[in-house]
Amino acid sequence: MRLTRWIWIGLCVAGASARSATGRRVLVVVPTPGAASDYSDFLDSLKARGFELAVRGAANASVALHGGDGARMYDHAVLLAPAAKRLGSLNAQSLVRFVDDGGNLLVTASSDASPMVRTLATQFGVTVEKRGSRMVDHVGASASGDAGTVVSARYAHVPAILSQKLLASDAPPVHFEGVGLRAADIPLLVPVLSAPRTAYSAPADDNAVSEAALDLVSVFQTRNNARVAVSGSTALFSDRLMRADGAGNRQFAADISQWVLQEKSVLRASSLRHSLATGERPDHYRVGSDVVFELDLAEFSNNAWHTYTADDVQLELIMLDPYVRVTLNHTQAGGADLTTYRGDVRLPDRY
């Protein structure tokens, strides 16, 4: 019997080096070169974390993610120009290719988001509300009194993405100006910030409103472990909202960007081993055989690999029908930065 192995582990299985597990080269696209100053706090935080930023205006024809040889020129891309009709030579197809090649992507939308940004978001299960609409909250408006500045602390409880400061009961809220998002019900997509229950999506003509539950920021991890974040607000990352009194934008932007740029919650699987329960390693396994699987896991955080311990690591053996899914048990520390997981499986005896 030939076994097809698939391991789905929490968030990610990857490997590399540097401050990010996948590299430090970041392309940042802004509406115009001068607009980068509107996001200086956010961009400076990326530089302080060791990233090499290439900031380009959306109209710059040289903006590209792949070189002439087809290789990626950057490890990550941050798109802060949602209304631009063109992003250099980039389009939705080339951006999806970038992610397919292992690149990580942070894309922001707005009320006037371009068709390209909307199309790109749908590739990752996110639908941007109609053009011209914006999130409004007359009940929980910010201290400025502007109903268009939505204040939300409805964070998803995902410790692998959000810090304890944002998961606490007194977490500072994010100040949000932009458009609502609808997330598809797929396991690889996680809405990490939702709109408050008193907020709604108001169209430009004010003739009707959307009362559906909407999200503000969602994240997606692809099957090849690339990461994508879609924010309905570009202003969320601006100096103006980051510096607003009581706003949690600075911490939220740090948490989201650290996850997207693979600075944390990255797992590395290595040394997959399997044998019969007797210890023998045959060329082929037979139905009904008792098989032992082991592998080592490490987690990347704080610029280093560490042991990773969890109770929800699973192994799947997939055939035509049925398939077997078992939870692996962590048995020992495989080294200073590894944890060994083991599972005992009896191979199914029917198709």
Highest mean pLDDT among 6-10, 183-187, 346-350: 183-187
Q: What integer is the mean pLDDT of 303-332?
A: 84
pLDDT > 70 in the chain, percent: 89
Q: How confident is the model at residue 94 (pLDDT cuts 50, 70, 90)?
A: very high
Please report the pLDDT score of residue 288 as a whole number: 85
**What would the 3-class secondary structure string for 281-310 be?**
CCCCCCCCCEEEEEEEEEEEECCEEEECCC
Q: What is the reported pLDDT for 1?
A: 36
- Check residue 315 and give its pLDDT: 87
What are the tens digits of pLDDT across the range 203-212? 866 555 555 6
pLDDT at 349: 72
End-to-end CA distance of the chain: 11
Does 143 score more than 80 pLDDT? no
Burial class of residue 21, CB neighbours in 10 A (0-12, 13-18, 19+)? buried
CA 262 – CA 25 distance, rounded (Å): 12
154-178 per-position pLDDT tens digit: 999 999 999 999 999 999 999 999 9
- Give the C-alpha separation, 99 to 240, whole Å: 30
Tell which residue, 127, 166, 132, 130, has the closest CA to residue 148.
132
Q: Scanning the structure block, which residue is given the tokens 């280093």?
A: 304
Give the model's pLDDT for residue 325. 87
**DSSP-derived 3-state class of residue 12:** coil
Q: Which among 255, 78, 242 is positioned nearest to 155, based on CA atoms?
A: 255
Q: What is the pTM of this model?
A: 0.86
Q: Is 43 left (phi over 0), alpha (psi -120 to 50) or beta?
A: alpha
Asked if residue 192 has pLDDT above 70, the reply is yes
212-249 pLDDT per residue, tens: 679 999 999 999 999 999 999 999 999 999 999 999 99
What pLDDT is recorded for position 10? 37
The DSSP output letter for 237 is: G
Question: Phi, psi (5° rounding) for residue 85?
Answer: -70, -30
Q: Mean pLDDT of all residues in the chain?
A: 88
